[in-house]
Amino acid sequence: MRGRLLLAALAASLVAAGGVLAAPPEDRLVSPDQHSSEKARSLAAKYLNALRELNAGIYHCVPWVEIGRESIGFFRPKHLPGDDRYLSLRIFVEQDPSPQFAALRFEERAASMFSRYVGGMLRRMAAHAAMLTDPAVDGFTVIVGWLKPTAQAGAQPVHETIAVFLPRPVAADYVAGRAKIHDVAARGQVFGYDGATPLGQLRLQAWEDSFLSTYRMANYQPDPGVTCR
Amino acid sequence: MLSFPRRLLLAGAALVLTAGCATSEEWAIWRQNSAHFASLDHFKFSNRNREGQSAQVSRADVQKAREQNWWGRAITVAQEEILER
């Protein structure tokens, strides 16, 4: 009897340890109290579980995408006046070097990455439907970075980045199927960066790309108990 | 002038001293590729997955690879340039 109890306790502790190991790093989120305005703190507290689910979903199901520290939160886009608060997500995409990708101009690489990641990430961000009707949520920001393919071998790596700002009605239209991704690119604001150098606002021609919903990383096994859709 | 047996002994000693050791050129190449087995975890991962076998990649493997920062710090735009808390 005592042996069985001991075994049960050991099994329970292993399950608990497994649960802890499977959790994504919490520091990817900006904690509610670290936001600079009451509006932002209130939003971050209200949607804390939704942000955790967003973090966990990307962590387990899109493992080639990295979320850095404090990359998810209700940030204020710096180019907008007032205290507009956008649910913001910054990701870095790790991908194999590709001569075809490297041969594109920056705007074309930016359009490719927009087409591949912005729609899919937006759907994940808006999975908690209440955000799409909450007037306190002014919009959504998706920042996508990738390794600049034309950098010299052996030199310090350089990231290229696009920052995409979408007012809430644009995001709501896209998630509801009333707008296509090329409409999103046209109605939103996109800014480009080469390393730390701003390249200004971009006009991107985006297209539907099913990569995120169809690609499976070779031999990758999600942690036990994780289901990816 | 060294006798033939002495020369043979010296050559043998030199052979023993250099056998199994990398030359300075080899070490230079290895140093340039310090990403190889940057840590014990990476070694375990590489050792577990051998050519000809189906590799098993867990989420923990992906995370460890990133934390070891194999490719160095990149030049990128600071988040504070785009967003404010």
Contact (CB<8Å) B72/A157? yes
ipTM score of complex: 0.81
Is residue B55's pLDDT more than 70? no
Is residue A186's pLDDT more than 80? yes
Give the B-side interface with A, CB within 8 Å.
54-60, 62, 66, 71-79, 81-85
* Alpha-carbon span A55 to A125, nearest angstrom: 9
Q: Which residues pair with A143 in a beta bridge?
A: A90, A163
Q: Mean pLDDT across the stretch B50-72?
A: 66
| CA-based nearest residue to A178, from A200, A226, A187 | A187
Quote the crossing angle between the two packed helices B40-48 and B59-67, to the nearest 10°.
140
Query: Regarding beta strands B57-58 and A139-147, do their DSSP bridges make them parallel or antiparallel, or are they unpaired?
Result: unpaired
Q: Does the model's pTM come out above 0.80? A: no
Is residue A61's pLDDT more than 80? yes
Min Cα separation A132/chain B (Å)? 21
Confidence of residue A132 (pLDDT cuts 50, 70, 90): very high
| Tens-place pLDDT, residues B69-79 | 555 678 899 99
* Alpha-carbon span A111 to A120, nearest angstrom: 14
What pLDDT, on the 0 to 100 scale, is given for residue A219? 84
Residue A48, helix vs strand vs coil: helix
Query: Regarding beta strands A189-194 and A159-167, do their DSSP bridges make them parallel or antiparallel, or are they unpaired?
Result: antiparallel
Q: Mean pLDDT across the stretch B60-74?
A: 68
Query: What percent of chain A shows pLDDT beyond 90?
Result: 75
Min Cα separation A173/chain B (Å)? 24
Is residue A223's pLDDT more than 80? yes
For chains A and B, count residue pairs whose Cβ atoms are closer than 8 Å. Answer: 90
Contact A96, A162 (CB under 8 A): no
For residue B39, the number of C-alpha atoms closer than 13 Å in the C-beta half-sphere is: 10
Contact (CB<8Å) A158/B75? yes
Residues of B in contact with A22 (CB under 8 A): 59
